[in-house]
């Protein structure tokens, strides 16, 4: 005998099924997720649905989240590492609205983190799920336009072609200059695009405790990296894989080991570097870390008196 | 058979038997059979629509024949029917042991990546992961096909047609194949460029001891390149023999027509 489900507080204005998608769609997506987890790095086709945002705004990630989210989850959404950008705020509000979940900016307390272009600085823990929004799931697409051919290449592990792009990089720039969407091998079997995260974040994918799910809405593909999986960034013997480094520290929190964004301050060429992970930066500042420009308030009058040359 | 004592005929590199290709009810080629030995250059000549390219595609594993066998002396499996191999094995064999020079360099090159990367790609496909070594090999090969090595990082579109064809030749020889297919390799080039490319191809083929199957409608190309000729008409082989023999003393009426139609200046 089942107990009656108590009516939700917002029952009258609920137009949508729980978490927006209907149950059959969520079931279909969950099956694709299970297959993706069973074959790490393999791109599983799925019946991507129209979502209330345009392609390119995270439709794949939103569908993944919708399929796995429950009322007990705590949801965090970041865009380029920041919790407070328009896209992140909209998607967070969307799930607060349609899935009745608590939302947070705290990486540590979130159970589902949807991300575009970054992996949070704080190491993820077992039990957390990181959902990536992926524009182009096929790492070989730029070099081979035929889907039939790229599928065969994955099936037969013919990945020499990917090295052509690295070769081009070195011959043009003297080093592997690719910075985002840097291709990785998953469990030494499938070549995978890590979505356009900076290569700075690539090493974080290896042996990660969290479940990592990737969704491409327009391209209708789901792939995954289960916890504790080997993930290796491609490189040459004489040009090993390297991540970005900065000579500067975060201007606000003084962090030396986080991924920094360059912010142009005026027309005179002044700039600052700040953590791209806004929660990481805020947490450090709250803990008393101070960067070179912290506490500095903009003196608007002075700026007006002395316009930039 | 009367075996000549003390002399062993080399085993065929490629052995084609009863090869037939129908496109529905249209005939591509019918009942083609020949052996190709290591280091031998076979020319396939004939007018357009005679089944030359169909035959080449069937032999090179691009087009499954309706019936017949194409056996190749693979390094890993010995003399074996290429269509009997599994797809990954066949693709690997094609990568490792064959080259294919297309008539239009756009079909054989990746136009988006530099000439150097195009030449180095077969090495990467075979598992080379050392940039410096591949770079050196690429420079050596560009030099060998008489291209300016300083232009190694230019995109193919910035090269002339003849140079693109040289890049394609380098790309198809760098990994040391044993058999190279050429489909009208000098087709789209003007006469002087054609002559120089032919000269180069002839030299490379001789130096490397390559086996080549070259398809052409140009009797001059056939005369210069091929040891042996196969003349095709309407999908069937009408005459085979040594190149000089076929061209100097053609037996079949069609071959006689073909040879006599060459412009004499």
Domain termination residue (choose one: B176, B198, B220): B176
- Of the residues A236, A239, A241, the best mutation for testing chain B's interface (the one with the most B CB atoms within 10 Å of its CB) is A236
**Residue B79 domain-assigned (yes or no):** no
Residues above pLDDT 90, as percent of chain A: 86
Query: What is the rounded CA–CA span in Å between residue B204 and residue B177?
Result: 12
The partner residue sitting opposite A167, judged by closest CB among B87, B95, B124, is B124
**pLDDT value for A10:** 64
CA quadruple B171, B177, B179, B181: dihedral, nearest 10: -10
Are the C-beta atoms of B124 and A164 separated by less than 8 Å? yes
**Residue B158 domain-assigned (yes or no):** yes
Query: What is the rounded CA–CA span in Å between residue B78 and residue B201?
Result: 28
Query: What is the rounded CA–CA span in Å between residue B33 and residue B68?
Result: 9
Domain termination residue (choose one: B147, B176, B205): B176
pLDDT tens profile A276-287: 999 999 999 999
Range of the domain at B197: 39-68+177-260
**Residue B183 domain-assigned (yes or no):** yes
Q: In terms of domains, do B54 and B184 share one?
A: yes
DSSP code, position B75: T
Query: What is the rounded CA–CA span in Å between residue B5 and residue A292?
Result: 91
Whether residue A275 lies in the annotated active site: yes
Long-range contacts of B119-122 (CB under 8 A, 24+ apart): B119/B167, B119/B170, B119/B171, B119/B174, B120/A164, B120/A167, B120/B174, B121/A160, B121/A161, B121/A164, B121/B171, B122/B95, B122/B171, B122/B172, B122/B174, B122/B175
ipTM value > 0.90: no
B119, two tokens:
């030449």
Chain B positions touching A172 (Cβ under 8 A) are 114, 153
DSSP code, position A276: S
pLDDT tens profile A205-225: 999 999 999 999 999 999 999
Q: Tell me how many domains chain B contains.
A: 2
pLDDT tens profile B216-247: 988 888 998 999 999 999 999 999 999 999 99
Chain B contacts to A (CB-CB under 8 A): 87-88, 91-92, 95, 110, 112-114, 116-117, 120-121, 124-127, 129-132, 134-135, 152-153
> Alpha helix (H) ranges present in B38-130?
52-59, 87-97, 105-108, 115-125
3-state SS, residue A152: helix
Are the C-beta atoms of A116 and A58 separated by less than 8 Å? yes
pLDDT of residue B165 exceeding 90, the answer is: yes
pLDDT band at B6 (very low <50, low <70, confident <90, very high): low
Query: What is the rounded CA–CA span in Å between residue A235 and residue A241?
Result: 5
Lateral strand order in the sheet of B78-81: B26-36, B14-23, B67-74, B78-81
Query: Among A64-73, A232-241, B10-19, which stretch is predicted with the lowest mean pLDDT?
Result: B10-19
**How far A43 CA lies from chain B's nearest CA (Å)?**
20
Q: In terms of domains, do B256 and B181 share one?
A: yes
Lateral strand order in the sheet of A102-103: A44-45, A221-225, A211-216, A129-133, A112-116, A74-79, A102-103
Q: In terms of domains, do B188 and B246 share one?
A: yes
Across the interface, whether the CB atoms of B117 and A167 are under 8 A apart is answered yes
Boundaries of every domain in chain A: 11-233, 245-293
pLDDT tens profile B120-135: 999 999 999 999 999 9
Q: In CATH, which superfamily holds the domain spanning A11-233? A: Bacterial phosphonate metabolism protein PhnH (3.40.50.11310)
CA quadruple B244, B248, B254, B259: dihedral, nearest 10: 90
Across the interface, whether the CB atoms of A164 and B129 are under 8 A apart is answered no
Task: Tell me the average pLDDT of chain A.
Answer: 91
Residues above pLDDT 90, as percent of chain B: 74
Q: In terms of domains, do B117 and B240 share one?
A: no
pTM: 0.86
**Residue B134 domain-assigned (yes or no):** yes
B75, two tokens:
């390094």
pLDDT band at B49 (very low <50, low <70, confident <90, very high): confident
Q: In terms of domains, do B57 and B181 share one?
A: yes
pLDDT of residue B1 exceeding 90, the answer is: no
Long-range contacts of B146-150 (CB under 8 A, 24+ apart): B146/B200, B147/B115
Across the interface, whether the CB atoms of A164 and B135 are under 8 A apart is answered no
Place of tokens 């412009």: B263
Q: In terms of domains, do B245 and B183 share one?
A: yes
Q: In terms of domains, do B236 and B183 share one?
A: yes
pLDDT tens profile A181-200: 999 999 999 999 999 999 99
Which of these is catalytic: A215, A217, A250, A291? A250
What would the mean pLDDT of B202-210 be, rounded to a whole number? 90
**pLDDT value for A132:** 97
pLDDT of residue A298 exceeding 80, the answer is: no
pLDDT of residue A273 exceeding 80, the answer is: yes
- Which of the two residues, B11 and B113, has the higher pLDDT score? B113
Query: What is the rounded CA–CA span in Å between residue B166 and residue B186?
Result: 10
The partner residue sitting opposite A168, judged by closest CB among B92, B114, B129, is B114
Place of tokens 């032919």: B198
Query: What is the rounded CA–CA span in Å between residue A65 and residue A116?
Result: 13
**pLDDT value for A2:** 58
**How far B110 CA lies from chain A's nearest CA (Å)?**
8
pLDDT of residue A297 exceeding 90, the answer is: no
**pLDDT value for B5:** 58
Helix (H) or strand (E) holding B232: strand B228-233
Q: What residues pair up with A131 in beta bridges, in sequence order?
A: A114, A213
Query: What is the rounded CA–CA span in Å between residue A284 and residue A277?
Result: 11
User: B2 phi and psi, to 5 degrees?
Assistant: -95, 100
Cβ-based burial of A30 (10 A; exposed 0-12, middle 13-18, buried ≥19)? middle
Q: Name the residue among A277, A245, A246, A136 with its Cα closest to residue A196.
A: A136
Across the interface, whether the CB atoms of B130 and A237 are under 8 A apart is answered yes
Q: Which residue of A has its CA nearest to B123?
A: A160
CATH code where residue B246 lies: 3.40.50.300
Query: What is the rounded CA–CA span in Å between residue A297 and residue B207?
Result: 75
pLDDT tens profile A7-41: 666 666 666 789 999 999 999 999 999 999 999 99
**Residue B12 domain-assigned (yes or no):** no
Residue B41 CA: distances (Å) to CA of A83, A219, B36, B208, B264: 67, 47, 8, 12, 25
**pLDDT value for A309:** 45
Q: In terms of domains, do B167 and B183 share one?
A: no
**pLDDT value for B142:** 94
Residue A170 CA: distances (Å) to CA of A161, B118, B119, B151: 15, 14, 15, 15
**pLDDT value for B218:** 85
**How far A223 CA lies from chain B's nearest CA (Å)?**
24
Q: In terms of domains, do B159 and B228 share one?
A: no
Query: Among A148-152, A297-301, B151-155, B185-189, which stretch is predicted with the lowest mean pLDDT?
Result: A297-301
pLDDT tens profile A127-170: 999 999 999 999 999 899 999 999 999 999 999 999 999 999 99
- DSSP per residue over A40-96, as a string? TT--EE--PPP-SS-TTSSHHHHHHHHHH--TT-EEEEEETTBSSSHHHHHHHHHHH
Query: What is the rounded CA–CA span in Å between residue A224 and residue B151?
Result: 42
Residues above pLDDT 70, as percent of chain B: 95
Helix (H) or strand (E) holding A36: helix A23-38
**pLDDT value for B193:** 84
B62, two tokens:
């691009």
- Of the residues B61, B88, B126, B129, the best mutation for testing chain A's interface (the one with the most A CB atoms within 10 Å of its CB) is B129
Q: In terms of domains, do B62 and B183 share one?
A: yes
Domain termination residue (choose one: B176, B208, B238): B176
């Amino acid at each position: 005998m089942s107990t009656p489900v108590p009516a939700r507080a917002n029952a009258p204005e609920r137009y949508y099924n729980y978490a927006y998608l209907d149950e059959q769609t969520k079931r279909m997506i969950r099956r694709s997720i299970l297959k993706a987890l069973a074959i790490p790095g393999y791109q599983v086709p799925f019946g991507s649905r129209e979502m209330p945002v345009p392609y390119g705004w995270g439709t794949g990630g939103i569908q993944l989240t919708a399929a796995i989210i429950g009322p007990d989850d705590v949801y965090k959404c970041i865009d380029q590492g920041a919790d407070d950008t328009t896209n992140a705020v909209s998607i967070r509000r969307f799930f607060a609205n349609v899935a009745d979940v608590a939302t947070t900016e705290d990486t540590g307390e979130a159970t589902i983190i949807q991300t575009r272009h970054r992996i949070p600085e704080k190491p993820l823990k077992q039990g957390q799920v990181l959902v990536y929004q992926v524009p182009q799931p096929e790492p070989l697409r730029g070099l081979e336009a035929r889907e039939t051919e790229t599928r065969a290449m994955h099936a037969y592990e013919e990945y020499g072609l990917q090295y052509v792009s690295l070769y081009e990089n070195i011959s043009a720039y003297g080093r592997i200059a690719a910075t985002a969407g840097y291709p990785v091998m998953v469990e030494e079997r499938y070549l995978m695009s890590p979505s356009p995260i900076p290569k700075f974040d690539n090493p974080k994918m290896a042996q990660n405790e969290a479940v990592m799910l990737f969704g491409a809405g327009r391209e209708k593909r789901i792939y995954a990296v289960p916890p504790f999986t080997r993930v290796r960034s491609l490189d040459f013997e004489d040009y090993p894989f390297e991540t970005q480094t900065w000579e500067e520290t975060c201007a606000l929190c003084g962090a030396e080991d986080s991924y920094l964004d360059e912010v142009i301050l005026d027309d005179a060429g002044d700039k600052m570097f700040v953590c791209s992970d806004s929660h990481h930066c805020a947490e450090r500042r709250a803990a008393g870390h101070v960067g070179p420009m912290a506490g500095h308030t903009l003196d608007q009058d002075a700026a007006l008196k002395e316009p930039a040359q | 058979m009367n075996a000549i004592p003390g002399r062993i005929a080399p085993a065929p590199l490629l052995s084609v038997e009863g090869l037939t290709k129908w496109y529905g009810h249209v005939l591509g080629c019918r009942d083609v059979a020949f052996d190709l030995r290591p280091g031998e250059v076979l020319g396939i000549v004939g007018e357009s629509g005679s089944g030359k390219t169909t035959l080449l595609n069937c032999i090179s594993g691009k087009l499954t024949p309706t019936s017949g066998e194409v056996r190749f002396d693979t390094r890993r499996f010995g003399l074996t029917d290429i269509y009997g191999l599994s797809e990954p094995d066949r693709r690997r064999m094609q990568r490792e042991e064959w080259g294919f020079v297309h008539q239009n360099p756009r079909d054989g090159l990746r136009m988006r990546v530099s000439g150097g990367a195009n030449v180095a790609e077969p090495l990467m496909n075979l598992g080379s992961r050392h940039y410096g070594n591949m770079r050196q090999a690429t420079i050596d090969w560009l030099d060998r096909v008489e291209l300016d090595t300083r232009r190694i990082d230019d995109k193919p579109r910035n090269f002339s047609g003849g140079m693109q064809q040289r890049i394609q030749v380098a790309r198809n020889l760098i990994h040391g194949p044993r058999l190279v297919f050429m489909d009208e390799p000098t087709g789209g080039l003007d006469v002087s460029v054609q002559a120089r490319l032919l000269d180069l191809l002839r030299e490379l083929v001789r130096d490397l001891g390559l086996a080549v199957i070259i398809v052409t409608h140009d009797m001059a190309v056939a005369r210069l390149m091929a040891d042996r000729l196969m003349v095709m008409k309407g999908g069937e082989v009408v005459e085979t023999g040594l190149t000089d023999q076929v061209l100097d003393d053609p037996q079949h009426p069609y071959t006689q027509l073909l040879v006599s139609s060459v412009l004499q200046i």
